Amino acid sequence: MELEPEAAEREGGLKRELSSWQQSMIAIGGTIGVGLFLGSGATIGLAGPGVVLTYLIAAIPAIAMGFVLAEMASVHPVAGSFGVYSDIYVGRWAGFATRLTYWFAETLAIGAQLTAVGVYFGFWFPDVPPFLFMAGAALIAIAVNALHVGRFGFLESALSMVKVAAIVGFILAGAALVFGVGSREAIGLSNLTADGGLLPNGLTGVWLALTLVITSYLGMETVAVTAGEANNPEKTVPRALLGTAAALIVLYVLSIGVIVTMSSWRAISETSGTVSGSPFVAAFESIGVPYASSLMNFVVISAAFTAVMSHLYICTRMLFSLSRAGYIPKAVGAVDRRGVPLRALAGSAVGMVIALALASRGRQVFLPMYGTAVAALLSIWLLIFVCHFRFRRRLGPERLAALPVRVPLHPLPGVAGIALILACLGATPWVSGLEWTVPMFLVWLAVVGCVYLARFRGDYAHEHD
């Protein structure tokens, strides 16, 4: 039973103008936030220098996800992406839950990144209320998302390059300090073995850090969401997915490796979390970059803002897909003559305002909600792997052979990805700030299930006849 033509027809009206480069940069814009620049101390505090191993382990499900989505997106190049895959290969209840849960998680991510914008503008303007900067960033993000998709892709790509350039610059600067390039004495590799060795907290520390580190890769799946507006999606989407996964792994592993090599891991864990305490600032100051703190503050704000724009884009396409699939009013899925779903954008903007309101109430309210979003995204990755197993069984050998990219060693990557994600979810009770992540997500899932049964009981009964 092949439902792909029907799904593609339902989600028509969007303009296919995004290149593989723009697709990758939209994903990178949404994936690399302020955590790498300022929050790396938390994971380093858990794993010590062994955090590099943690990033390599977390790369396994990320690579597997890249290949899995590349396969399915080449057959189903639609904006609903894994929401549509859930419809086809699991059932309509899964399609509804996946889209709504992903919209919810992305909306909360917008609130977190907007909060970061307000906080870090305070580095320069401490007397100005942070909410003004947050509101300004939100309005600009809405305006940019309302542009023709080609222009949005260009602007998002240009701004995302700011943080990519900052990471590359940091890697080069840090490597120069470690190996003594120029007149400075080399730092060497002693910090990797001092103060407890490579694994000061043992493999337990690596496992606990994995729960935080894997969130650094959450967001690369958004490439599949751009498939509905991709130019030649059968070729560009697989290329963008695998390119994004490779770029993230290289940038993360090299930058974290430089951080724990150039400084004591314990000192990093105690000082990270502020602009002045960022290891990136320390590296730039050490090689004589003027105004290093202000430079890094600009990069952090750019990182947060590009994440806001990317998350808002994804939220809009999820609402668009929910509407086109018949889960919410059809009017929400309307597009203008330029192919922009403005009503879905307006609905996502309302969600952004709610997330901002939650964020403004402080860490006690927002952190548990954000932790719920993390569990939601990890659970969606689990469901994507499940969809892929069923996709493979239904595709048949002839169509499989014709795909532009195939998962190597199938089904091992999917099995490894599922096992590692379950290990991450199992570690949350012992990670500060994530203790209630899984229970709260189960509550959310129960609410979504009740809404579906109340609204679409007939569909559920039909599925299980």
Question: 169-200: per-residue pLDDT in tens?
Answer: 889 988 888 888 766 788 888 989 888 889 99
pLDDT of residue 191: 87
> Is 183 exposed, middle or buried (CB count within 10 Å of its CB: 0-12, 13-18, 19+)?
exposed
d(C-alpha 452, C-alpha 447), whole Å: 9
* DSSP, res 289: -
Question: Which three-class secondary structure state does DSSP give residue 181?
Answer: coil
Looking at the domain 4-463, which fold is it? Amino acid/polyamine transporter I (1.20.1740)
* Of the candidates 340, 344, 350, the residue with the CA atom closest to the CA atom of residue 321: 344
The residue type found at 133 is F
CB 311 within 8 Å of CB 30: yes
* Of the candidates 305, 368, 389, the residue with the CA atom closest to the CA atom of residue 86: 389
Question: Which three-class secondary structure state does DSSP give residue 18?
Answer: strand
**Phi then psi for 241, rounded to 5 degrees?**
-60, -50
CB 221 within 8 Å of CB 34: no
Joined together, the tokens standing for residue 213 give: 């580190």
The residue type found at 111 is G
Q: How many H helices and E strands in the chain?
A: 20, 0
Helix locations, 292-411, DSSP H: 292-324, 342-360, 363-395, 397-401
Helix locations, 180-230, DSSP H: 202-213, 222-225
Domain ranges of the chain: 4-463
404 CB neighbour count, 10 Å cutoff: 13
d(C-alpha 190, C-alpha 334), whole Å: 60
- In which residue are the tokens 């889960």 written? 327
Q: Which residues of the chain have pLDDT under 70?
A: 1-12, 38-39, 182-183, 271-274, 276-277, 283, 286-287, 359-367, 458-465
How far is the first Cα of the chain from the last one, in angstroms, to the nearest whole number? 17
Percentage of the residues of the chain whose pLDDT score is greater than 90:
42
d(C-alpha 44, C-alpha 264), whole Å: 10
Inter-axis angle of helices 51-75 and 40-47, to 10 degrees?
A: 120
Joined together, the tokens standing for residue 279 give: 């290891």
CB 297 within 8 Å of CB 303: no
Which residues are CB-neighbours of 261 under 8 A, at least 6 positions away? Answer: 49, 174, 178, 187, 189, 191, 192
pLDDT of residue 365: 63
CB 121 within 8 Å of CB 133: yes
d(C-alpha 408, C-alpha 387), whole Å: 17
pLDDT of residue 309: 92
Angstrom distances, CA of residue 166 to CA of 103, 121, 177: 30, 18, 16
d(C-alpha 438, C-alpha 408), whole Å: 31
